[in-house]
């Protein structure tokens, strides 16, 4: 679930033609902040989780301000933020720390369901509701317009700064939810786990049909891509491939899943160009 949520947050940023390298470490920071508030401060679990999600939102807004107001390249700005948030998470919890009350949350996350829906999916449902509201507002189409051609979007009068801040804020929000999901998965503070989620989340976005150049894609594609990656390891193990070739096989499949959508888009663009030339 953490990879799915991070991939969903990255969807907004990638559609705008940018990238967020800090989403994974923000999730780890939210994970550690929430557990610290529960364990050290004795804070109520619900309040601590809300503070954690707010932390993710805060760093999402910070990324948006760095890119839109200070005109920093998104790659550089979020790379720096990733080091900051990763360092803060490691400073709060240098080692995984168990805590009984967090164990209760892990039990609820892993075993209980409400109205027939497993508990983890409510985090995804919450993120999808926010995504739906954004897409139904005027900002949704503006994100695609910005990703398609930022110069034309600016000339037509779109508020590029507002769109940029919104996209990174949504990424931070989803990273915050991913941090809560990490508590449910591990039941401990995992400061170093966040970065390991980043590349699979980006791969899930590309496998799901998003173009890293922006202006194309939908939210359900990255979700499918994340589920595909989640089932890939058990699938490779079930086929009984030689252990020495399992990693090669798995990553070759991922490589194919990343390259194939780009190849299909390239062929479609070539056909469109030839069709235009015919006229």
Rounded CA-CA distance 174/9 in Å is 5
Residue 251 lies in a domain: no
> What pLDDT is stored for residue 116 in this prediction?
67
> Taking all residues of the chain, what is their mean pLDDT, rounded to a whole number?
82
**Please, are residues 200 and 2 in contact by the beta-carbon 8 Å criterion?**
no
Which tokens hold the place of 23?
Answer: 């989403």
Q: Three-class SS of residue 234? A: helix
Tell me the CATH number at 181: 1.10.3470.10
> What pLDDT is stored for residue 277 in this prediction?
55
Residue 269 lies in a domain: no
Which tokens hold the place of 270?
Answer: 């070539």
Residue 114 lies in a domain: yes
**Please, are residues 62 and 44 in contact by the beta-carbon 8 Å criterion?**
no
Residue 45 lies in a domain: yes
Rounded CA-CA distance 2/84 in Å is 20
Q: What are phi and psi of 236, to 5 degrees?
A: -65, -40
**Roughly what angle, to the nearest 10 degrees, separates helices 243-278 and 194-207?**
40
**Please, are residues 9 and 175 in contact by the beta-carbon 8 Å criterion?**
yes
* pLDDT tens by residue, 28-79: 999 888 888 887 787 888 888 899 999 999 999 999 999 999 999 999 999 9
Which tokens hold the place of 99?
Answer: 């805590």
162 CB-near residues (< 8 Å, 6+ apart): 68, 139
Residue 10: which of 135, 186, 131 has the closest Cα? 131
**Please, are residues 189 and 97 in contact by the beta-carbon 8 Å criterion?**
yes
Which tokens hold the place of 125?
Answer: 């449902």
Q: Three-class SS of residue 166? A: helix
Residue 164 lies in a domain: yes
Burial class (CB in 10 A: 0-12, 13-18, 19+), 226: buried
Higher pLDDT, 275 or 1: 1
Residue 25 lies in a domain: yes
At residue 95's C-alpha, the angle toward residues 93 and 101, to 5°, is 70
Work out how many domains the chain is built from and give that number.
Answer: 1
Higher pLDDT, 192 or 178: 178
> What pLDDT is stored for residue 104 in this prediction?
59
* pLDDT tens by residue, 69-121: 999 999 999 999 999 998 898 888 776 655 445 555 655 555 566 666 777 78
Rounded CA-CA distance 205/35 in Å is 29
pLDDT band at residue 224, thresholds of 50, 70 and 90? Answer: confident
Alpha helices in 40-138 (DSSP H): 45-68, 74-92, 100-111, 120-136
| Residue range of the domain that includes 173 | 2-194
Residue 250: count of CB within 10 angstroms of its CB? 17
Residue 97: count of CB within 10 angstroms of its CB? 18
Which tokens hold the place of 275?
Answer: 């069709």
Q: DSSP labels for 183-235?
A: HHHHSB--TTTHHHHHHHHHHHHHHTT--TTSS---SHHHHHHHHHHHHHHHH
> What pLDDT is stored for residue 169 in this prediction?
95
């Amino acid at each position: 679930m953490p990879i799915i949520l991070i991939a969903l947050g990255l969807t907004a940023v990638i559609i705008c033609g940018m990238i967020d390298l800090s989403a994974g470490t923000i999730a780890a920071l939210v994970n550690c902040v929430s557990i610290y508030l529960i364990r050290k401060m004795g804070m109520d679990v619900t309040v601590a989780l809300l503070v954690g999600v707010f932390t993710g939102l805060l760093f999402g807004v910070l990324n948006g301000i760095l890119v839109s107001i200070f005109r920093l390249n998104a790659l550089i700005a979020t790379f720096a933020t990733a080091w900051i948030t990763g360092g803060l998470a490691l400073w709060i919890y240098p080692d995984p720390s168990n805590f009984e009350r967090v164990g209760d949350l892990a039990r609820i996350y892993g075993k209980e369901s409400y109205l027939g829906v497993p508990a983890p999916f409510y985090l995804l449902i919450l993120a999808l509701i926010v995504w739906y509201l954004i897409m139904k507002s005027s900002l949704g189409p503006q994100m695609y317009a910005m990703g398609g051609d930022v110069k034309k979007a600016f000339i037509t009068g779109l508020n590029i700064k507002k769109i940029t801040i919104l996209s990174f804020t949504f990424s931070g929000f989803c990273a915050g939810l991913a941090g809560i999901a990490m508590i449910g998965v591990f039941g401990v503070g995992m400061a170093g786990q966040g970065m390991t989620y980043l590349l699979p989340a980006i791969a899930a976005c590309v496998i799901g049909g998003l173009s890293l150049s922006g202006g194309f894609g939908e939210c359900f594609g990255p979700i499918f891509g994340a589920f595909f990656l989640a089932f890939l390891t058990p699938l490779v193990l079930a086929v009984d491939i030689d252990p020495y070739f399992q990693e090669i096989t798995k990553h070759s499949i991922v490589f194919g899943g990343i390259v194939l959508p780009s190849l299909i888009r390239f062929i479609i663009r070539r056909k469109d160009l030839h069709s235009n030339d015919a006229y």
